[in-house]
Structure 1
Amino acid sequence: MTHLLALLFALVAAQQVVSGEDLGTIIFSSVLYRHGDRAPATDYPNDPYNDVAQYWPRGYGQLSEIGEEQHYRLGSYLRQRYSDLLPLTYNYNDTYIRSTDVDRTLVSARCNLEGLYPPTERTLSQPSIKFQAIPIHTETSSNDDLLLSTSSCAKYTTILSYLEESYEYQCVMNETAQIQEEVAAFAGYSSFTSYIYDILFIEELYNMTLPDWVWPYYPNPLKNLYLLQQFITSAGTTELQRLSAGPMLKEIIENMQAKVNATLSPDRSLYVYSAHDSNVVNTLQALKVFNGILVPYASAVIIELRELNSSNYVTVSYKNSTETEPYLLQLPGCDSLCPLDQFVELTKEVIPDDLDTECAEEVTAGTEYLFQVPAAAILPEWEHCFQKPKSDNGLFHFLSFQTSSK
């Protein structure tokens, strides 16, 4: 494979914005959130807490009571934020909810809706029903081209494999080879997987005493290996962003344009997407505003269409805690209050024309791809692997790699 060439890019940083300006009136919103607190998706072979009935009675990967509360609180926050946008009583013409076909996202959506649409006297038509019954739409994972669009996308898989052969990625793998071997042996794996970080994180979160062998490796370097392998690479190039986050962003943009043109049918005000940390990261990367920090439970990306002085604007906010207000973000090349037409232009390169057609395209040998790596994902001991120049703001490394015939 032809390895990397240094690329110099001057780019205005995507940044958190503290704004006292008039942001106008919200007329439409799309909210993408991660599910709430959950049990580990699995255990590891030598896990002292692998008795699922004792430690995770709801089952692996299931939403916890804490996760239910997190999403109820997020839903209550959204009710407050959109009190002027949404009636108190649910109506098909106001709100649409889409979830991946996974228990924890479906239950998160249900709990979120309990907060967004609390019971009212009008909806309690039967004394025993204490909630508003609201449909949650989903597709099987194999057919979900909106939230799980990469699951059967051959082009995505091919580009990702080339990225994982890049000099920088392989340099980190070589740098951590002994660590990976030692962790795999301690954990009882036949080969290393960075997913063990997630298991250890959750067990520590639940005040379980971790084995002594863990501490030379946890939280770091396991945390940053997990971040790099499972998230940074998954949408590390424009093409990967186009195939992963692109379909959902395409729907959001088309809905905003239809809202402005009075052609949205039904003329809803809110679309909600209940999904995973990977969806949140991919979307933030596609918008060039990802800070390189793992996504907490019940975090939400909020993309709002606003009206100000008879013009339409888009704001992007990131709510990474149920305890704090969302952070208003600024996309590179636009103000935090971004004109709709400019937002469409800035995101054009990550919007697929036809997903099925693009996924079927062959990857041409010798094609060069730009790989953007948040500096926060790079540990000091890995710096020698990333000697290509950073952007002017110092937040990102910009690299390139080329494909070759395998």
Structure 2
Amino acid sequence: MTAAVTSASRPVSKVILLFFLSLGGAARTKARELQMVTLLYRHGDRSPIKGFPTDIHSESAWPQGFGQLTQVGMKQHWDLGQSLRSRYHGFLNESYDRTEIYVRSTDSDRTLMSAESNLAGLYPPGESQTFNVNISWQPIPIHTVPESEDQLLKFPLLPCPRYQQLQEETRQSAEYVNKTKENLSFLEMVANATGMKEVSLESIWSVYDTLFCEKQHNMSMPLWVTSEVFKRLEDLKNFSFRFLFGIYQPVEKSRLQGGLLLNQILKNFTEAAKSTEKQRLKVIMYSAHDTTVVALQTALDVYNGVQTPYAACHIMELYREDSGNFSVEMYFRNDSAKDPFPLTLPGCPSSCPLPEFLRLTRAVISEDREHECQIPSSTQDTEVIVGLAICGFFLLLLIVLLLVVLYRLQSKPNGGYHHVSDEGDEHP
């Protein structure tokens, strides 16, 4: 009888044990907590930056002129804002809370308007935040600085003599020289077709950009732009983006460019990891350009070599693990029809411990960019060396003279010096 009771109680014991184990597992899962998010995105669809002389579509074909966000671009960012609202549901408040999010943009119409559109999707106003029942929108601050003062988001960051020297050295690299030779006749053809005086590997992006924008908006293409020509223009445009931050000495270029933004992001993460405040900044949002995304991804060594699409978003998330340690995860949303896909920092797992993330990116973080931007002049170096040598010579001469004077003073008689005239008293 006793054995029967014991046997019957075993399944109950197992159920109880599994129940408590599941509770423990749930507690551990819950303990892993998102602490901070940094979002960097490119602006939405825009009109061309500029045209070319033979372009049949002038600036007047675009309602707001060149370089401006279109209604398509506004919708792209509203969609991204909605996607971010869903992704961070439960992390961010349902309604806008100024203590939780900070938004910064470059001082450009299209990036400022993209940020506004994005925030409209992220924070539709609740009842207490509605100021007009006919408008499902609320104003949210977006911070910026003049382009001439932007040392965080407007890449490439200039002036920087050493970076410009690196670019000149890149032009002498085998890859750049060979690419030029392979495409010389094509570049000449494009120059003739567009009416431009000269088209190079670095300037051809503007031709592709104009045609791409027109194609996206169903405008007619010139007869010379076949599918093969368009594809080749795209390939060369991608090369021009790699030229900015890669091809040659990418680590040093990153120290002078994208490493500055990465350094700021990691400083923010480090501070967040130390913080014990309950009410804290949770999201930092940067609205910028394709070059900004490329600069950051090159510094992280995760750039895929192609131009960043409109409204693409690079996501960096800081987590507090069950152990109390912190880790960093990265994602990239480059297709509105798909979820963001993970990016892995080379040498680290997808969920990378914060100290390891800091260690692996240390090479692209400059401690003194202003100094590293300078180019040591051989002429100046020679002048300094000669100057030091002359100073050293005069110092040595002074020491010798001082020693001579001291020696002569020590060698005088104790009674002092007396002049005795052989001729007796002197007369005027």
Q: Distance in 2 between matches of 1:93 and 1:312?
A: 22
**Equivalent residues in 2 for 1:238-253 (5 A)?**
238-253=251-266
| Match 2:84 to one of 78, 89, 101 | 78
Partner of 2:212 in structure 1?
Answer: 201
Q: Secondary structure at the match of 1:122?
A: helix
Matched, 1:232 2:242: yes
Q: Evaluate the alpha carbon distance shift between residue 93 and residue 232 of structure 1 in structure 2; reply closer, same or farther with a 3 A threshold.
A: same
Q: Secondary structure at the match of 1:98?
A: strand
Q: Is the 1:179–1:217 Cα contact (8 Å) retained in structure 2?
A: no
Q: Evaluate the alpha carbon distance shift between residue 344 and residue 363 of structure 1 in structure 2; reply closer, same or farther with a 3 A threshold.
A: farther
Q: Distance in 1 between matches of 2:356 and 2:86?
A: 29
Q: Distance in 2 between matches of 1:101 and 1:329?
A: 29
Q: Distance in 2 between matches of 1:323 and 1:362?
A: 50
Partner of 1:256 in structure 2?
Answer: 269
Partner of 1:313 in structure 2?
Answer: 327
What are structure 2's unaligned runs of at least 5 residues? Answer: 1-28, 379-428
Q: Secondary structure at the match of 1:156?
A: helix
| Match 2:68 to one of 59, 62, 71 | 62
Q: Distance in 2 between matches of 1:264 and 1:62?
A: 41
Q: Distance in 2 between matches of 1:275 and 1:211?
A: 31
Q: Distance in 2 between matches of 1:60 and 1:216?
A: 25
Matched, 1:326 2:345: no
One-letter amino acid of the structure 1 residue matched with residue 102 of structure 2: Y
Alpha-carbon distance, 1:64 to partner: 0.4
| Match 1:278 to one of 281, 291, 296 | 291
Partner of 2:101 in structure 1?
Answer: 95
Partner of 1:166 in structure 2?
Answer: 173
343-352 or 126-135: which moved more? 126-135
Partner of 1:187 in structure 2?
Answer: 194
Partner of 2:124 in structure 1?
Answer: 118
Alpha-carbon distance, 1:292 to partner: 1.5
One-letter amino acid of the structure 2 residue matched with residue 301 of structure 1: H
Partner of 1:15 in structure 2?
Answer: none
Q: Is the 2:254–2:299 Cα contact (8 Å) retained in structure 1?
A: yes
Partner of 1:211 in structure 2?
Answer: 222
* TM-score normalised according to structure 2 size: 0.76
Question: RMSD in angstroms over aligned alpha carbons?
Answer: 2.1
Alpha-carbon distance, 1:286 to partner: 1.2
What are structure 1's unaligned runs of at least 5 residues? Answer: 1-21, 365-406
Q: How many matched pairs?
A: 341
Listed one character per residue, the Cα deviations across residues 239-274 of structure 1 (whole Å, up to 9, x for unaligned) are 111222111111110010000101789830000010
Q: Secondary structure at the match of 2:231?
A: coil
Q: Secondary structure at the match of 2:303?
A: coil
Q: Distance in 1 between matches of 2:214 and 2:261?
A: 33
One-letter amino acid of the structure 1 residue matched with residue 210 of structure 2: I
Q: Distance in 1 between matches of 2:41 and 2:274?
A: 27
Identity of aligned residues (%): 37
One-letter amino acid of the structure 1 residue matched with residue 273 of structure 2: V
Q: Distance in 2 between matches of 1:39 and 1:337?
A: 38
Partner of 2:161 in structure 1?
Answer: 154
Alpha-carbon distance, 1:151 to partner: 2.5
Q: Is the 1:28–1:270 Cα contact (8 Å) retained in structure 2?
A: yes
Matched, 1:40 2:48: yes
Alpha-carbon distance, 1:301 to partner: 0.5
One-letter amino acid of the structure 1 residue matched with residue 189 of structure 2: E
Q: Distance in 2 between matches of 1:46 and 1:311?
A: 60
Q: Distance in 2 between matches of 1:247 and 1:123?
A: 37
Q: Is the 2:251–2:363 Cα contact (8 Å) retained in structure 1?
A: yes
One-letter amino acid of the structure 2 residue matched with residue 191 of structure 1: E
Alpha-carbon distance, 1:116 to partner: 1.1
Q: Distance in 2 between matches of 1:169 and 1:264?
A: 51
Q: Distance in 1 between matches of 2:277 and 2:165?
A: 36
Alpha-carbon distance, 1:153 to partner: 1.9
Q: Distance in 2 between matches of 1:122 and 1:287?
A: 42
Q: Evaluate the alpha carbon distance shift between residue 216 and residue 271 of structure 1 in structure 2; reply closer, same or farther with a 3 A threshold.
A: closer
Q: Is the 1:329–1:336 Cα contact (8 Å) retained in structure 2?
A: yes
| Match 2:34 to one of 26, 32, 57 | 26
Alpha-carbon distance, 1:209 to partner: 2.1
One-letter amino acid of the structure 1 residue matched with residue 81 of structure 2: G
Q: Distance in 1 between matches of 2:262 and 2:277?
A: 16
Alpha-carbon distance, 1:290 to partner: 1.3
